[in-house]
Amino acid sequence: MTPALQFDNITCTFVSKDDRSQRYTAVANTDLAIAPGEFVSVVGPTGCGKSTLLNVGAGLLQPSSGSVKVFGEELKGINRRAGYMFQAEALMPWRSALQNVIAGLQYRGHEEKAAAELGEQWLARVGLQGFGDRYPHQLSGGMRKRVALAQTLILDPDIILMDEPFSALDIQTRQLMENEVLDLWNAKKKAVLFITHDLDEAIAMSDRVIVLAAGPGTHPIGEFRIDLPRPRDVAEIRMHPRFVELHQQIWDVLRDEVLKGYQQQKRAA
Ligand SMILES: Nc1ncnc2c1ncn2[C@@H]1O[C@H](COP(=O)(O)OP(=O)(O)OP(=O)(O)O)[C@@H](O)[C@H]1O
């Protein structure tokens, strides 16, 4: 089957922050393929290159070498078949929740009334019925994330790219959001590339977990199929004996990389 998103031998180098005459290789020779409908998480130590990889998949960053294919076609420019959700707040503070949700439809030239109707449906789907006229500052952090989720999914992307979308939330809200994402994903089965440094979150959500090495030159060093039953409740699945087993196996690979990443950050500080 043609992958929804395929990274072929991706390398990304940047001008080094410490010495501008040097280049820093963030990602090196990375291959990764995500099947249509597959939920793949990428975990790795802080600063290893997870976001860099996601930005390459989004078409926001041109790799130094290698190529990205989207449903078999070479990606040039922005990945229009993908929707994104980033860690940082992405809502426009001057727009109401509804106007934020339908922003992408408006940019694509959809008719206003139909867009607003669909927007209301999506607000209801993420549990925000009746909140459409609130502005971002009038919503809690969890509600703002729900608006951002609706804003991404309303465009019905074939690929969803998420970069630690819930890391700023408290644990209960986070688990609620994770379950909501899983429910929505279960209903439509899109390809998901989910970046996180939280191994529990990665296992609970995914079909497959990829472990990246500490930088420089990060690349996948482990790949684990998550053969846990679905549908899953992210809080309950953590008690499953197979979850504990998988966690142990993946942590065995990830632990050393996290330690290396930590040492590097200490040296850089
Ligand atoms: N535009 C850039 N210019 C220079 N260096 C960069 C640039 N973007 C990323 N880097 C460097 O590349 C490395 C990887 O960064 P990246 O943000 O991809 O890591 P990450 O794994 O997502 O980190 P975190 O887990 O902290 O979010 C870091 O050392 C970062 O400083």
The answer to whether the CB of 54 is under 6 A from ligand 1 is no
- Which residue, 22, 8, 126, 16, is CA-closest to 69? 8
Q: What pLDDT does 244 receive?
A: 98
pLDDT digits (tens, 9 = 90+) for 119-146: 999 999 888 999 999 999 999 988 998 9
Cα–Cα nearest to 97, from 127, 141, 121, 128: 128
In order of their start, the domains of the chain are: 5-81+159-268 (3.40.50.300), 89-156 (no CATH)
Burial 204-226 (b: 16+ CB within 10 A, else e): bbbbbbbbbbbbbbbbbebebeb
Residue having the nearest C-alpha atom to atom 2 of ligand 1 = 14
The pLDDT assigned to 88 comes to 78
Does residue 46 line the site of ligand 1, with CB under 6 A? yes
Q: Is 50 in the pocket of ligand 1 (CB under 6 A)?
A: yes
pLDDT value at position 62?
Answer: 95
**Ligand 1: distance of its center to the CA of 16 in Å?**
11
Separation between Cα atoms, residue 78 and residue 57, nearest integer Å: 9
Residue 146 in contact with ligand 1 by CB distance below 6 A = no
Tokens of 93: 């503070």
Ligand 1 in contact with 52 (CB < 6 A)?
yes
What confidence tens digit (pLDDT) does each residue in 241-266 have?
999 999 999 999 999 999 988 887 77
Confidence of residue 112 (pLDDT cuts 50, 70, 90): very high
Q: Which residue among 11, 24, 211, 218 is best mutated to probe the pocket of ligand 1, counting the most ligand atoms within 8 A of its Cβ?
A: 24
Q: What is the model's pLDDT at position 20?
A: 83
pLDDT digits (tens, 9 = 90+) for 178-234: 998 999 999 989 999 999 989 999 999 999 999 999 988 999 999 999 999 999 999
Which atom from ligand 1 is nearest to the alpha carbon of 195? 22
Looking at the chain, the whole-number percentage of residues with pLDDT higher than 70 is: 100
CA 26 to centroid of ligand 1, rounded, Å: 7
Nearest protein CA to atom 8 of ligand 1, as residue: 52
Average pLDDT of the residues in 86-114: 92
- 101, 127 in Cβ contact below 8 A? no
pTM of the model: 0.93
Structure tokens belonging to residue 123: 């607000």
pLDDT at 5 (0 to 100): 98
pLDDT computed for residue 18 by the predictor: 76
> Rounded distance, CA 205 to CA 183, Å?
11
**What residue's CA is closest to ligand 1, atom 4?**
14
